């Protein structure tokens, strides 16, 4: 040891330090390299699991005034800053999105940063277009150099697609932030969540689904199963289980085939319920799908007309879609009636047999009149509640120009259609299980 100089010991120590393995994961190294390139500091971040690009969501405690490269406006206009004589925006508003685009030739990546102002704070997303590199093999999405100027047109197309995502996320922030207080609120949230899911914004979609399913009285239970299937398709098994358990809690008679279900944790529960209820699950599922399509397409159309009456082209497309759904559902239900007769509660449960009534409630008058005797027989057998027969009779009477008995129909102006006897309407309503009309109560 005496022959070892202090300089040698120092060199050995430095070598040992240099040989220590790094404890940073690939994601941490990737994250660190991106944050070094940003034109402003970030207080907190989280990685999103959705989308085709590595995406980071960030939040700053205060307002971030770093100059943007572009501004995206609510109508989708893209205003590039610092071009020609245009004045750059001096302060961000909650209506607009600020965008910065960073090109790194060294790292062969493009980082798109979209910023939103929310209650004095900056919230934003970093989308990373990363070329294949040995440094970050997991995140190298592209087999070509996105930072090469020869590929600027392709990158521009991708940035334009990200503009649509930016606007969807902007709508999310402007959407309802509480559980629904009405059926309209529920459907508005469902439509928005579906739109986010279709755009592969899975984290945000689940957030909105959770809001929509926050109030049981507005939920269409089959949608819990539909959303559970969506979550399973993207590998979010935990979310799928949460939605299925919610439906189990809501419907004492809900179950799936215990031999076919992919959710092993629920097999025993499904087996127990299957022995108790013994539904025709295939027919029940078909009818619940009919019920859901009827409501979804019809209400999507009415919501669009209500919220965007000037978008005539889209509203016409949605109207045609709703009418096509009505026609398809009528064919399916007519086939079911010819094979099974009116499906009883014991065969398909409540939503199943209500789906049959719903389809005819929205059908043409001739079909309604032909279906009326079958519905009368079903009510007499106890297969469906009398209020559904009351509503169909009212619908037929109003369509044929007669006053209605139960007061379930409104006219084209949104007013209650004429009544047979206003003094007795509440008595008749109570007899079939309908709530009283306050304007005619004593």
Residues 203 and 96 in one domain: no
In a domain, 206, yes or no: yes
Q: State pLDDT tens for residues 138-148.
A: 999 899 999 99
Mark which of 277, 304, 337 sits at the end of a domain: 277
- Is there a contact between 360 and 381 (Cβ–Cβ < 8 Å)? no
**Do residues 250 and 308 share a domain?**
no
Residue 396 makes CB contacts below 8 A (sequence gap 6+) with 365, 368, 369, 372
Verify that 228 and 262 share a domain, yes or no. Answer: yes
Element (H, E) at 57: strand 55-60
CA distance 110 to 361: 55
Same domain assignment for residues 353 and 412: no
Domain assignment of residue 442, yes or no: yes
Alpha carbon 303 to its chain's center: 15
pLDDT tens digits for range 381-440: 998 999 999 999 999 999 999 999 999 999 888 889 999 999 999 999 999 999 999 887
Q: What average pLDDT does the segment 219-231 reach? A: 95
Q: Are residues 159 and 33 in the same domain?
A: yes
What is the tens place of the pLDDT at every residue in 345-371? 899 998 898 999 999 999 999 999 999
Helix (H, G, I), strand (E, B) or coil at 292: helix
d(CA 302, CA 286) in angstroms, rounded, equals: 24
* pLDDT score, position 179: 85
60 and 152 both lie in a single domain: yes
Let me know whether 32 and 147 are in one domain: yes
More confidently predicted of 336 and 86? 336
pTM of the model: 0.74
Verify that 192 and 259 share a domain, yes or no.
Answer: yes
350, 236: one domain: no
In-domain check, residue 13: no
Beta strands in 164-270 (DSSP E): none
C-alpha–C-alpha distance, residues 376 and 52, integer Å: 54
In a domain, 157, yes or no: yes
Question: How far are the Cα atoms of 217, 392, 418, 436 from residue 408, in angstroms, in the given order?
Answer: 20, 9, 10, 11
Average pLDDT (231-260) is: 95
Question: Could you tell me which of 330, 436, 315, 441 has the C-alpha nearest to residue 387?
Answer: 436
Q: In the structure encoding, which two tokens stand for residue 225, read together?
A: 């199963």
Number of domains in the chain: 4
In a domain, 372, yes or no: no
The arithmetic mean of pLDDT across residues 256-276, rounded, is 95
pLDDT at 429: 95
In a domain, 373, yes or no: no
Buried b (16+ CB within 10 A) or exposed e, 118-143: eeeebbbbbbbbbbeeeebeebbbbe
CATH number of the domain encompassing residue 252: 1.25.40
For residues 193 and 148, membership in a common domain is answered with no
* 61 occurs within a structural domain: yes
360-372 burial, b at 16+ Cβ within 10 Å, e below that, comes to bbbbeeeebeebe
pLDDT recorded at residue 217 = 93
pLDDT attached to residue 321: 92
Asked whether residue 238 is assigned to any structural domain, the reply reads yes
Of 277, 304, 319, at which residue does a domain stop?
277
C-alpha span between 127 and 35 (Å, rounded): 12
Rounded CA separation 111/55 (Å): 10
Q: Which of 126, 142, 171 is the last residue of a domain?
A: 171
Contact criterion met (CB below 8 Å) for 359 and 290 = yes
Range of the domain at 336: 283-363
* 119 and 227 in a common domain: no
Co-location of 235 and 289 in the same domain: no
| Token pair recorded at residue 67 | 């100059």
Span 162-218, pLDDT tens digits: 998 888 888 766 555 678 988 988 998 999 899 888 888 888 899 899 999 999 999
User: What's the mean per-residue pLDDT of the chain?
Assistant: 88
| pLDDT value at 23 more than 90 | no
């Amino acid at each position: 040891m005496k022959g070892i100089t202090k300089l040698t010991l120092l060199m050995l120590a430095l070598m040992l330090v240099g040989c220590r393995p790094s404890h940073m994961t690939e994601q941490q190294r990737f994250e660190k390299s991106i944050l070094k390139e940003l034109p402003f500091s970030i207080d907190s971040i989280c990685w999103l699991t959705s989308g085709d690009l590595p995406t980071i969501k960030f939040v700053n405690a205060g307002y971030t005034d770093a100059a943007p490269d572009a501004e995206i406006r609510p109508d989708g206009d893209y205003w590039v800053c610092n071009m020609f004589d245009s004045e750059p925006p001096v302060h961000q508003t909650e209506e607009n999105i600020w965008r910065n685009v960073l090109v790194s030739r060294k790292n062969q990546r493009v980082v798109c940063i979209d910023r939103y102002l929310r209650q004095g704070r900056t919230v934003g997303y970093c989308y990373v277009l990363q070329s294949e590199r040995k440094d970050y093999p997991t995140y190298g999405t592209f087999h070509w150099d996105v930072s090469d100027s020869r590929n600027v047109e392709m990158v521009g197309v991708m940035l334009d697609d990200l503009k649509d995502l930016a606007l969807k996320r902007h709508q999310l922030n402007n959407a309802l932030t509480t559980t629904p207080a009405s059926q309209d609120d529920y459907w508005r949230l469902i439509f928005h969540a579906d739109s986010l899911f279709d755009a592969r914004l899975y984290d945000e979609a689940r957030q909105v689904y959770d809001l929509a399913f926050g109030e049981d009285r507005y939920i269409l239970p089959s949608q819990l199963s539909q959303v559970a299937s969506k979550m399973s398709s993207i590998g979010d098994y935990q979310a799928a289980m949460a939605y299925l358990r919610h439906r189990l809690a809501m419907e004492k008679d809900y179950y799936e085939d215990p031999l076919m279900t992919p959710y092993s944790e629920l097999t025993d529960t499904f087996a127990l319920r299957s022995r108790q209820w013994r539904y025709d699950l295939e027919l029940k599922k078909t009818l619940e799908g009919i019920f859901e399509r009827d409501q979804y397409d019809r209400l999507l159309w009415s919501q669009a007309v209500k919220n965007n009456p000037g978008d005539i082209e889209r509203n016409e497309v949605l109207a045609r879609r709703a009418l096509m759904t009505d026609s398809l559902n009528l064919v399916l239900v007519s086939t079911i009636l010819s094979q099974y007769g009116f499906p009883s509660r014991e065969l398909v449960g409540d939503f199943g047999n209500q789906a049959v009534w719903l389809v005819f409630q929205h059908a043409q008058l001739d079909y309604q009149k032909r279906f009326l005797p079958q519905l009368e027989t079903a009510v007499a057998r106890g297969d469906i509640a009398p209020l559904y027969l009351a509503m169909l009779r009212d619908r037929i009477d109003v369509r044929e120009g007669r006053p209605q008995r139960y007061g379930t129909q409104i006219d084209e102006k949104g007013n209650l259609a004429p009544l047979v006897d206003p003094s007795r309407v509440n008595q008749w309503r109570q007899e079939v299980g309908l709530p009283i009309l306050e304007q005619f109560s004593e």
